[in-house]
A = this chain, B = another copy of it.
Amino acid sequence: MDGVQNKVSVATPRIEVCFSPVMYPAYHNPEAIVVVTDVLRASSAIVTALMNGALSIIPVETIQDAKEFKSKGYLVAAERDGIKLEFADLGNSPFNFTSEKISGKKIVYSTTNGTQAIHMAREAHQVIVGAFINLNATCNYLSQTGRDIIILCAGWKNRFSLEDTVHAGAIVERILQDKRYSTICDSALAALDLWQLAKPDVRGYLEKCAQRSRLRKNKLDDVIDYCFTPDLTEVIPVFKGGQLVDIQRKN
């Protein structure tokens, strides 16, 4: 850790938003905390799994990696394009991650967009996972660190995604209430404006987003209300030693 750089960062920390994993190299900052968001549904599912007592989640990028873990006896959650892969134990719906199924277990997890985003950001100071369901806890934690923040939207196959952006805007709004923070990042300003449009009726505003249509088409849209419900938990998944664990866990 460079103490001087850290000090500068604490004095005038910044918040930025990156709209796609493929843009991340243009935003990378080794001193920053990266918040990965993939609201529909990976980041909401990951927070839910830890909330319901999973020991940890091992995000893997490829289906092959997920299969190898499966053959070693791990519980595996894996989907592509929203659909559970045949060999997997669990899909991508937060409703899959019930205490009965996952309490005390390590879960290997591979998704279309979310897990790649986590790996993309691993050279940052810290990577955490954000969702509406842990919004308040995430913002309190970020603000308390006083560090630079990058919100990395998982998007959809490297494309921009409205629901992740609106969630990013909700974080930007909260963080900029902490007067130490500022932004000169056009995407943070755009996310904030879009969040302010969405805020009075988030569910209604996001009716138009592409992922809403994909989930509806595949009859996977039962999770929408849940994923847009703020502050169900204080759990914050943090990426540590290749696994996501609750940031409050002591070991």
Contact = CB atoms under 8 A, between A and B. Distances in A.
A117 B8 CA distance: 35
A40 B184 CA distance: 17
A193 interface: yes
Nearest to A164: B186
Contact of A19 (B19, B184, B208, B210): B19
A187 B210 CA distance: 10
A210 B185 contact: yes
B157 A186 contact: no
Given A193-B194, A193-B197, A197-B193, A23 B159 contact: yes
Interface residues on chain A, size class = 20 to 34
A182 to B, nearest CB: 12
B187 A208 contact: no
A120 interface: no
Interface of A: 19-20, 22-23, 25-27, 156-162, 165, 184-187, 189-190, 193-194, 197, 208-211, 213
A23 B160 contact: yes
A210 B194 contact: no
B189 A162 contact: yes
B184 A161 contact: no
Contacts of A22: 22-23, 26
Contacts of A211: 186
A71 to B, nearest CB: 32
Contact of A190 (B23, B158, B184, B190): B190
Contact of A187 (B157, B159, B213): B159
A132 to B, nearest CB: 17
B194 A157 contact: no
A160 B184 contact: no
A216 to B, nearest CB: 12
Which of A156, A161, A193 counts the most B-chain CB atoms under 10 A from its CB?
A193
A20 B158 CA distance: 11
Nearest to A25: B158
A194 B190 contact: yes
A190 B165 contact: yes
